[in-house]
Structure 1
């Protein structure tokens, strides 16, 4: 009996099902983190630094709003000045044609100011307001020197409009107003807004380099096209449009190379029509003997 009871007990034990193990479900976010080349500790450390940075920004913003950082900065600047970090000398280099008094008046406004309070970006921006100054480099030379290096623009032409003359650079920037007798050998651009098209004119003349040295002036006509003036006195009327003007100028350069048009009895060339060119001759001067005969007749008549 005992043996049979043990067998029944063992059968019941064998049939008892084992408890199932729970399968851990991995979320999409966990899979994404596992795919990253960072460990979980690295991610936690980065999150901690982000929180610290955010708190720092908030504290700084609150200090700015309360004016605490400005006061601290001014106190720091005052300590720097007492320690000798104060503008005592100003060195300006690169000035040739620029008005030196204007530059020194602007830069010397920073004299005796504490070095940390010198706004070099503002000084540079103020210097760039002058037409002659193309660029300016402003730097602090500790303990007491403010250094300014000026890069000047170069005059390339004279812009004439409504009886007023101004020096301009190759980009058309106005440098200063001048008198007609002060322009020298610079080419003269005539017309309203002619300076704004100085770059395009230079590019146009570069396409006919053989003629470029002969051009002493240009007139911007009707805000749409150029008339060129040559050293020998002739005028060349070009058509509208960059492409048409370039083709006409090259065509004229070829004709001048073959027929020597410049320096003859022609005074005006009109190439506005792409199909044909129009030339105008200079009026013939009266013969010298004819002039003397006319004057003698007048004299005899007066005597009578």
Structure 2
């Protein structure tokens, strides 16, 4: 029987090599350890909160619950609420994505609208508040009377003739106007002032208050006198001079109060 001596040294070396290989291989933790570590560090909770937040944000942004369904119009008199709603198409839009200023911008292009505001209310309501231009003066040019508001904006051609107590400014230049155009605000202010001051403080009742491109504001009396005021500067001085001439009984058919030294003419035949 043949005896094979054990190769003890080689076996020891092989065992050490196996142990060295096993010690360099990474240790993979189990799922229980990972779960405990995730809960302890808060990563799992943060992930759950993030996912829920994403779903909630998606719901809020795109759910029909938060789309504009009801549009209320406040302040409309000349314009119908239906026309306003049609001009501002809000229904069906996500309420979060509506730009309030940009939404009402089309309304401000209308000659009837002076101011427009939009307010949104959760979850699905919109409220449009408008301030319409209120007629304050009639502007007559080319035989047509136009409604003008206090800021000087032309609203539209008047459907009915003005009443006797309404202020009518006659444009002797007959310049064309159209809705939305802004007229000379100084002329309008001066005309309103004269319509009140002349009869109440001086005792002069104008037969006509007019405006001319070259002259500015003027007044015609029942005695066919023409009094030119021009613009509103030095108005008190102009009124003082006019009051003096009237009180003195100075005859005139044409009085120009625009120069620093006003002048007048008297031509009974009406020629200038």
TM range (shorter): 0.5 to 0.7
Contact 1:133-1:151 within 8 A present in 2 as well: yes
The answer as to 2:234 corresponding to 1:247 is no
Please, which of 225, 236, 241 is the counterpart of residue 226 of structure 2?
A: 236
Alignment of 1:271-282 (within 5 A): 271=256, 274=261, 276-279=263-266
Q: How far is 1:205 from its partner?
A: 5.6
- Consecutive unaligned residues of structure 1, counting only runs of 5 or more, are 1-74, 284-304
Alignment of 1:149-164 (within 5 A): 149-164=129-144
Q: Report the Cα distance in structure 2 between the residues aligned to 1:116 and 1:148, rounded to whole angstroms.
A: 16
Q: Report the Cα distance in structure 2 between the residues aligned to 1:77 and 1:111, rounded to whole angstroms.
A: 20
Match of residue 199 from structure 1: 186
Q: Report the Cα distance in structure 2 between the residues aligned to 1:114 and 1:161, rounded to whole angstroms.
A: 48
Match of residue 90 from structure 1: 71
Match of residue 92 from structure 2: 112
Please, which of 200, 222, 231 is the counterpart of residue 213 of structure 2?
A: 222
Q: Report the Cα distance in structure 2 between the residues aligned to 1:267 and 1:94, rounded to whole angstroms.
A: 50
Q: How far is 1:142 from its partner?
A: 1.0
Contact 2:252-2:264 within 8 A present in 1 as well: no
- Secondary structure of 1:171's aligned partner: coil
Q: CA 1:164 to 1:253, structure 2 compared with 1: closer, same or farther past 3 Å?
A: same
The answer as to 2:83 corresponding to 1:102 is yes
Contact 1:77-1:116 within 8 A present in 2 as well: no
The answer as to 2:124 corresponding to 1:144 is yes
Match of residue 80 from structure 1: 61
TM-score for the superposition, normalised by structure 1: 0.53
More helix by share: 1
Q: CA 1:199 to 1:251, structure 2 compared with 1: closer, same or farther past 3 Å?
A: same
Q: Report the Cα distance in structure 2 between the residues aligned to 1:236 and 1:225, rounded to whole angstroms.
A: 12
Higher relative contact order (CA 8 A, sep 6+): 2
Q: Report the Cα distance in structure 1 between the residues aligned to 2:223 and 2:151, rounded to whole angstroms.
A: 26
The answer as to 2:175 corresponding to 1:186 is no
Q: CA RMSD in A?
A: 3.7
Structure 1 stretches of at least 4 aligned residues deviating more than 4 Å after TM superposition = 75-79, 212-217, 232-235, 239-242, 266-269, 279-283
Q: How far is 1:168 from its partner?
A: 0.6
Q: CA 1:157 to 1:281, structure 2 compared with 1: closer, same or farther past 3 Å?
A: farther
- Consecutive unaligned residues of structure 2, counting only runs of 5 or more, are 1-55
> How many corresponding residue pairs?
201
Q: How far is 1:82 from its partner?
A: 1.6
Q: How far is 1:167 from its partner?
A: 0.6
Match of residue 169 from structure 1: 149
Q: How far is 1:138 from its partner?
A: 0.3
Contact 2:216-2:228 within 8 A present in 1 as well: yes
Contact 1:85-1:143 within 8 A present in 2 as well: yes
Which sits farther off after the overlay, 220-229 or 135-144?
220-229
Contact 1:135-1:152 within 8 A present in 2 as well: yes
Please, which of 239, 252, 255 is the counterpart of residue 270 of structure 1?
A: 255
